[in-house]
Homo-oligomer: A and B are copies of this chain.
Amino acid sequence: MVPHPKHLPADERRAVTVEAVVELAAEKNPSEITTTAIAKHMGVTQGALFKHFPNKDAILQAVMEWVAKRLLARVDKAAHSVSSPIAAIEAMFMAHVEFVTEHPGVPRMLFGELQRSEQTVPKRMAQTLLRRYRERLQHLFGECKTKGELPEMLDIDASITLLIGIIQGLVMQSLLAGDVELMRRDAPGVFAIYRRGIEAEK
């Protein structure tokens, strides 16, 4: 770890703050991610955060931006690295699992934001991220059908709900076991079952 200099330019400090939140989310309940905890984790006093963010929600907003940008970039890259659409779906799934394994706090943050009852900015961003994610999958599933890689009668919406649920389920299992590597290990077997399910004709 690089020994942080005390003073950082504003944009770097903001970036460090976002990383601190992502790291904290890996081991803490979202409700335990207080501004004090964030500040302590980056070696700065609590008040310093408000030099760079107007309030706590602005921090969470920046985190959601970080997540959306990185996650979508990763899955897009994975999807474009293969030719067939069904392989793209699998690559996307694996890239997502890989991303979550590297940043186990991310699904926690996402789920935590979705749970909030008020319609906050970070919550709306979480919803937008998931909508974009679904759109990409919808496109790929459509391609699969036209290329004959998946049966015409397949329920695409159900397939996508299922695929996202698989990741959620893997996260939950790794949460139970307290071991994120479990996700990476179990992902292929779980996806294999899923794939047989969507490929099967009737």
Chain A positions within 8 Å of B, measured between CB atoms, are: 27-32, 108, 111-112, 114-117, 127, 130, 154-155, 157-159, 161-170, 172-173, 175-176, 186, 189-190, 192-200
Contacts and interface: CB of A to CB of B under 8 A. Distances in A.
A190 B194 CA distance: 11
Contacts of A164: 169, 172-173
Contacts of A127: 176
Nearest to A202: B196
25 contacts: A27-B117, A29-B112, A29-B116, A30-B31, A30-B115, A31-B31, A32-B117, A114-B172, A114-B176, A127-B176, A159-B193, A161-B169, A161-B173, A162-B169, A162-B193, A164-B169, A164-B173, A165-B172, A166-B166, A168-B168, A193-B197, A194-B197, A197-B197, A197-B200, A200-B200
Contacts of A199: 200
Contact of A115 (B29, B170, B173, B193): B29
Query: Is chain A's binding surface mostly helix, strand, loop or mixed?
Result: helix
A117 B29 contact: yes
Contacts of A114: 172, 175-176
How many identical chains are in the complex? Answer: 2
A167 B165 contact: yes
Given A130-B176, A197-B193, A28 B169 contact: no
A173 B111 CA distance: 11
A66 B158 CA distance: 31
A195 B158 CA distance: 13
Nearest to A110: B172
Given A161-B173, A172-B168, A193 B198 contact: yes
A186 B161 contact: yes
7 closest A-B pairs (Cβ-Cβ)? A165-B169, A197-B197, A158-B189, A196-B200, A31-B31, A193-B197, A168-B168
A199 B27 CA distance: 38
A159 to B, nearest CB: 6
